[in-house]
Amino acid sequence: MNSNPRLNAILLKIKKMGYSLTPQRLEIIKIISESKSHPSATDVYNKVKELYPMVSLNTVYKNLSMLASLHEVKEIKTMQDSVHYDGDISLHGHAICEKCGKIIDVEIDEFDFKRFFETKIKNKLNENYRIRNYGVEFYGLCGGCDKD
Amino acid sequence: MNSNPRLNAILLKIKKMGYSLTPQRLEIIKIISESKSHPSATDVYNKVKELYPMVSLNTVYKNLSMLASLHEVKEIKTMQDSVHYDGDISLHGHAICEKCGKIIDVEIDEFDFKRFFETKIKNKLNENYRIRNYGVEFYGLCGGCDKD
DNA sequence: ATTACTGCAAATACTTTGCAATTGT
DNA sequence: ACAATTGCAAAGTATTTGCAGTAAT
């Protein structure tokens, strides 16, 4: 195998689900599982092109959507433009700069959040609402943009 | 004046900022400040048309964007389609159904959240990051869709 | 009178679809 | 060999832009 646990987990699920593994797909998975910059589909596309110049944007979209439907990447909708993808599916929040659009991770302790959720929020939801994913965003101005 | 405090607050800010108040604008503000259903721009457009059949979708977009930039409505990006607007700018979360797209409010106690934020999250952020808005989303299946 | 707002049409941006050719298993 | 995936082109949606005419203060 290799040393990236996210990559391995995704490849395993791909195999388990009976999907095939093309070079383009592998490269897309590598990029998204290693990236810390929450790239858009176009960002990923430009990276894949370095290795496979013939790849189409469409292929990137299809693969990222597939990974999202498998819950192996998280989609982030910002206020300003396209969807961004996050290969880190662990619990964490995002601080999104309203000016430059940069997205940075905000560490959220899983234990703390779960306790907050269980004690303060869960009972506000309809009993049979089945939660599958959380999103916690902070909108504002990052250090760089706050100066202006 | 009238009995809708959100409406009054928005009208006051409009005036303070020196914007003018057209009938279409007033109607858009009325709709968004009274609605509890998190409508999209097109939803609002269809409602405005009942009173002003000649209104353009463009006008609706412009007004909703203006209100968002004034922080008088909140934009909600769902996973599936267009932006939805929320005239309730008080602290609360949204549960978004991944199947039918329905958005329901989730009550979050301001005191509890602020304490959680202050003690557990704030110190994870860069010191000079200026937060202006929060977003808390729960993605999953609503009662109706969970049956299928 | 001046400035902002509206409505129309066209443009742009992002994402999806249809399909023939190709590739992975 | 078979089914899934790719790349291309075209279509679809959501949103924005430019601008002349109109309305608000």
pLDDT single digits (tens) B71-112: 999 999 886 778 999 999 999 999 988 888 889 999 998 888
Own/partner contacts of B142-145, CB < 8 Å, gap of 24 or more, are: B142/A126, B142/A129, B142/B95, B142/B97, B142/B99, B142/B100, B142/B102, B142/B104, B143/A126, B143/A127, B143/A128, B143/A129, B144/B97, B144/B100, B145/B97, B145/B98, B145/B99, B145/B100
State whether A77 and B77 contact (CB < 8 Å): yes
Which residues in chain A are contacts of B116 at CB distance < 8 A? 112, 116, 120
On whether the CB atoms of residues A75 and A83 are closer than 8 A, the answer is yes
pLDDT at A112: 87
Q: Quick check: A127 pLDDT over 60?
A: yes
> ∠ CA(B131), CA(B134), CA(B135), 5° rounding?
145
pLDDT at B127: 74
User: Does strand C come within 7 Å of the CB of A44?
Assistant: no
Residue A78 at interface with chain B, using a CB cutoff of 8 Å? yes
Inter-chain contacts counted by CB atoms under 8 A, chains A and B: 113
Ordered by where they begin, the domains of chain A are 1-89 (1.10.10.10), 91-148 (3.30.1490.190)
Tell me the nearest-neighbour CA distance from B81 into chain A, angstroms: 11
Which residues in chain B are contacts of A99 at CB distance < 8 A? none
pLDDT at B17: 94
User: pLDDT exceeding 70 applies to what percent of chain A?
Assistant: 96
Protein-proximal nucleotides of chain C (any atom < 7 Å from a CB): 4-10, 13-18, 23-25
User: Does strand D come within 7 Å of the CB of B58?
Assistant: yes
* Whole-structure pTM value: 0.87
Residue A22: pLDDT band with limits 50, 70, 90: very high
Q: For residues B91 and B133, give the distance between their C-alpha atoms in angstroms, rounded to a whole number.
A: 9
Q: For residues B76 and B105, give the distance between their C-alpha atoms in angstroms, rounded to a whole number.
A: 12
Q: Which of residues 79-118 of A touch strand C (CB under 7 A)?
A: 81-83
On whether the CB atoms of residues B82 and A78 are closer than 8 A, the answer is no
Closest CA to A76 of A48, A20, A35: A35
Q: Quick check: A1 pLDDT over 60?
A: no
Q: Quick check: A47 pLDDT over 90?
A: yes
User: Does strand C come within 7 Å of the CB of A58?
Assistant: yes
Q: For residues B143 and B148, give the distance between their C-alpha atoms in angstroms, rounded to a whole number.
A: 10
Which residues in chain B are contacts of A141 at CB distance < 8 A? 129-130, 132
